[in-house]
Amino acid sequence: MGSAAPRSASVLLLLLLLLLLRAEQPRGAELTFELPDNAKQCFHEEVEQGVKFSLDYQVITGGHYDVDCYVEDPQGNTIYRETKKQYDSFTYRAEVKGVYQFCFSNEFSTFSHKTVYFDFQVGDEPPILPDMGNRVTALTQMESACVTIHEALKTVIDSQTHYRLREAQDRARAEDLNSRVSYWSIGETIALFVVSFSQVLLLKSFFTEKRPISRAVHS
């Protein structure tokens, strides 16, 4: 009974610590968004000093499957800039604490709107229970086996994601090809008919004009 008060105090302290640590808590964002033609879209995130962040992006559908991308630090310096890239990966250790922004631009394209996927990871993955971060003893064999399996499964999920994105890209191209085959075939058939009829008409017109003259000559 007597241990209740200091225990509740320690829990409160732990939670307060959690609240403070929240500012530094590692985060990750994985989004797929639509980028209309002639548009630019920017995303911002606050990063602490010394924390490593990584940006992976890939264009899934649209046009020539390329996009411009640049990353700026809080002072406005461009730390990464690429034009017309299909996919890329960029890691950087933040030297300055502040809001970093990364933008995707489709301003070079006039009529194709694109779908872009990006994965922005800041810092390391947080532990599933807050306690796990403040261990004093070493991990037991079971726990380190769990950690190994977890890391391996994360790799599997990552490669599944990349495979899914490439497959989505291929499927979009295949469906585009399928519809284009239909339209072009119908268009070509119509063109064929138009050309053959106009050929015959044109040929007939060469010989039809001379008729009144030849009749006058014959009579």
Query: How far is residue 187's CA from residue 181's CA, in Å, rounded to a whole number?
Result: 10
Is 27 an interacting residue with respect to other proteins (CB under 8 A)? yes
Is 143 an interacting residue with respect to other proteins (CB under 8 A)? yes
Window 194-213: residues binding other proteins (CB under 8 A): 196, 199-200, 203-204, 207
Three-state SS at 204: helix
- Contact flags string 45-84 toward other proteins, x per CB under 8 A: xx--------------------------------------
- Given phi > 0 = left and psi -120 to 50 = alpha, else beta, which region is 63? left
Query: How far is residue 100's CA from residue 83's CA, in Å, rounded to a whole number?
Result: 19
Cβ atoms of residues 77 and 125 within 8 Å = no
Query: How far is residue 48's CA from residue 115's CA, in Å, rounded to a whole number?
Result: 30
Minimal distance, residue 111 CB to other proteins, in Å:
19
Contacts of 189 (CB under 8 A, 6+ apart): none
Could you say which DSSP state residue 87 is in? Answer: E
Minimal distance, residue 168 CB to other proteins, in Å:
6
Residues contributing to the site for other proteins (CB under 8 A): 1, 3-5, 7-8, 11-12, 15-16, 18-19, 22, 25, 27-34, 41-46, 115, 120, 122, 128-132, 142-143, 146-147, 149-150, 153-154, 156-157, 160, 163-164, 167-168, 170-171, 174-175, 177-178, 181-182, 185, 188-189, 192-193, 196, 199-200, 203-204, 207
